[in-house]
Chain A
Amino acid sequence: NAGVMQNPRHLVRRRGQEARLRCSPMKGHSHVYWYRQLPEEGLKFMVYLQKENIIDESGMPKERFSAEFPKEGPSILRIQQVVRGDSAAYFCASSPRGSQDTQYFGPGTRLTVL
């Protein structure tokens, strides 16, 4: 299955720890997007990346959150000093091109902060 891969699928962290979420796009896709779904809320855009570049981070909280998509390896969403409000499902999507293209979602990482 050459779909979008995310790991881990479930992640438990205590307040103040760091969370690292990884995403490997579909084969042939060079555009990666991160979305967050808080409990009982809709999906919200966080950040859009291409290889080695952040294209749009308008949905990313200004503090504690960062994202990268290195030349080699998966895209990583990093959350420093997690708080209970960070508990959510984090989904990665990928597309072959940018520009209004269809995005395909991975299975998500469910982060629980104790």
Chain B
Amino acid sequence: QKEVEQNSGPLSVPEGAIASLNCTYSDRGSQSFFWYRQYSGKSPELIMSIYSNGDKEDGRFTAQLNKASQYVSLLIRDSQPSDSATYLCAVILTGGGNKLTFGTGTQLKVEL
């Protein structure tokens, strides 16, 4: 089992719809979770961090964390074509110090 798993996609949604991106992780003791966005040929850009169970909202983005089920998700409301990118889930695993362990990313395509 991979330490951090994401569906590679592509996930296609129409403009204006809600995009739902999911991530599962294997280490039950993990405490820190991050979502990054990466456009092709560019560097990862932080969208949000989440540390506690529940929802965290920032503008059109909502991160959801469920430690009991070991998943973290990202919802993007009112999806725009500019949201088309690869979304990376990253986790700091127990005993991993400060290093981020990334999933392989989910490619999102927002269609007109």
**B97 with A56: CB separation less than 8 A:** yes
Given A42-B105, A43-B44, A108-B43, A100 contacting B92 (CB threshold 8 A): yes
B44 touches A100 (CB 8 A): no
CB neighbors of B among A75-114 (8 A): 91, 93, 95, 98-108
Nearest opposing residue in chain B for A98, CB measure: B98
B104–A100 CB distance below 8 A: no
Per the bound structure, the CA–CA distance linking A58 and B24 in Å amounts to 23
Q: Tell me whether B102 and A43 are in contact (CB under 8 A).
A: yes
Q: Compute how far the CA of A58 lies from the CA of B93 in the bound complex, rounded to whole angstroms.
A: 14
In the complex, the chain B residue whose C-beta lies closest to that of A4 is: B43
For window 48-82 of B, CB contacts with A under 8 Å fall at 49, 51
Number of B residues near A (Cβ < 8 Å) is 23
* CB interface residues, A 33-65, toward B, < 8 Å: 33, 35, 41-45, 48, 55-56, 58-59
Question: Is residue B45 contacting chain A, with contact meaning CB distance below 8 A?
Answer: yes
B58 CB to nearest A CB, Å: 13
Measured CB to CB, the closest approach of chain A to B83, in angstroms, equals: 19
CA distance A44 to B102 in the complex (A): 7
Partner of A42, one of B32, B34, B92, B104: B104
Chain A residue at minimum C-beta to C-beta distance from B33: A100
B32 (CB) vs chain A CBs: closest residue: A100
Give the distance in Å from the alpha carbon of A95 to the alpha carbon of B49 in the complex.
13
B98–A104 contact, CB under 8 A? no
Q: Is the CB of A48 within 8 A of B98?
A: yes
Q: How far is the CA of A56 from the CA of B98 in the complex (A)?
A: 9
B99 interface neighbour in A42, A59, A102, Cβ under 8 Å? A59
Point out the residues of chain B lying under 8 angstroms from A42, CB to CB: 88, 102-105
- Taking a contact as CB atoms under 8 Å apart, the answer to whether B98 and A33 are in contact is yes
Q: Which 10 A-B residue pairings sit nearest by Cβ, starting from the closest?
A: A45-B99, A100-B32, A42-B104, A43-B102, A105-B43, A56-B97, A105-B44, A108-B43, A98-B98, A42-B102
Provide a sorted-by-A list of 11 A–B residue pairs whose CB atoms are within 8 angstroms.
Answer: A42-B103, A43-B44, A48-B98, A55-B97, A56-B97, A56-B98, A56-B99, A98-B97, A103-B98, A103-B100, A108-B43
